[in-house]
Amino acid sequence: MTRRSLGDVVAELARAQKSSAGTPAYSRFVNRRIGRYLAAAAFLAGRTPNQVSLASGFCSLIGIVLIALVEPSLPLALVVTALLVLGYALDSADGQLARLRGGGSPLGEWLDHMIDCVKVALLHSAVLISLYRFDALSNELVLLIPLAYLCVSTVMFFGLILIDQLRRRHGGAKPNVRGDSVVKSLLIAPTDYGILCLVFLAFGRPSLFIVLYAAMLAANLVFLLAAIAKWYREMAALQPAARVEVQG
The 10s digit of each residue's pLDDT in 118-176 is: 999 999 999 999 999 998 778 889 999 999 999 999 999 999 999 988 888 887 656 55
Quote the mean pLDDT of the chain: 87
DSSP 201: G
User: Taking every pair of C-alpha atoms in the chain, what is the biggest distance, in angstroms?
Assistant: 65
Average pLDDT over residues 80-84: 98
Q: For residues 181, 192, 203 and 66, what is the CA-based torsion angle, rounded to 10 degrees?
A: -150
Average pLDDT over residues 183-198: 87
What pLDDT, on a 0 to 100 scale, did the predictor assign at position 248? 42
- Around 194, how many Cα atoms within 13 Å sit in the side-chain half-sphere? 22
What pLDDT, on a 0 to 100 scale, did the predictor assign at position 22? 65
Q: Read off φ and ψ for residue 219, nearest 5 degrees.
A: -65, -40
Number of residues that make up the chain: 248
Q: Would the pLDDT of 243 be above 60?
A: no
What pLDDT, on a 0 to 100 scale, did the predictor assign at position 73? 96
SS3 of residue 46 by DSSP = coil
Task: Give the pLDDT band (50/70/90) at residue 242.
Answer: very low
The DSSP string of 10-34 is HHHHHHTPPP-TT--HHIIIIIHHH
What region does 138 belong to: left with phi over 0, alpha with psi -120 to 50, or beta? left
SS3 of residue 190 by DSSP = helix
* Cβ–Cβ under 8 Å, residues 204 and 73: yes
Residue bearing the bigger pLDDT, 230 or 244: 230
Determine how many CB atoms are found less than 10 A away from the CB of residue 208: 13
What pLDDT, on a 0 to 100 scale, did the predictor assign at position 25? 81
Average pLDDT over residues 102-118: 88
Q: Would the pLDDT of 177 be above 70?
A: no
**CA atoms of 40 and 118, how far apart (whole Å):** 26
pLDDT tens digits along 220-241? 999 999 999 999 998 888 765 5
pLDDT tens digits along 45-67? 899 999 999 999 999 999 999 99
Q: Would the pLDDT of 24 be above 90?
A: no
Residue 78 CA, chain-centre distance (Å), reads 20
pLDDT > 90 in the chain, percent = 57
What pLDDT, on a 0 to 100 scale, did the predictor assign at position 136? 74
What region does 5 belong to: left with phi over 0, alpha with psi -120 to 50, or beta? beta
Task: Give the pLDDT band (50/70/90) at residue 1.
Answer: very low
For helices 32-44 and 49-69, angle between their N-to-C axes, nearest 10 degrees: 120
CA distances from 213 to 102, 105, 127, 201 (A): 39, 35, 10, 11
Q: Where are the alpha helices (DSSP H) in 101-200?
A: 106-134, 144-170, 182-187, 193-199
DSSP 79: H
Residue 95 burial by CB count (10 A; 0-12/13-18/19+): exposed, middle or buried?
buried
Task: Give the pLDDT band (50/70/90) at residue 185.
Answer: confident
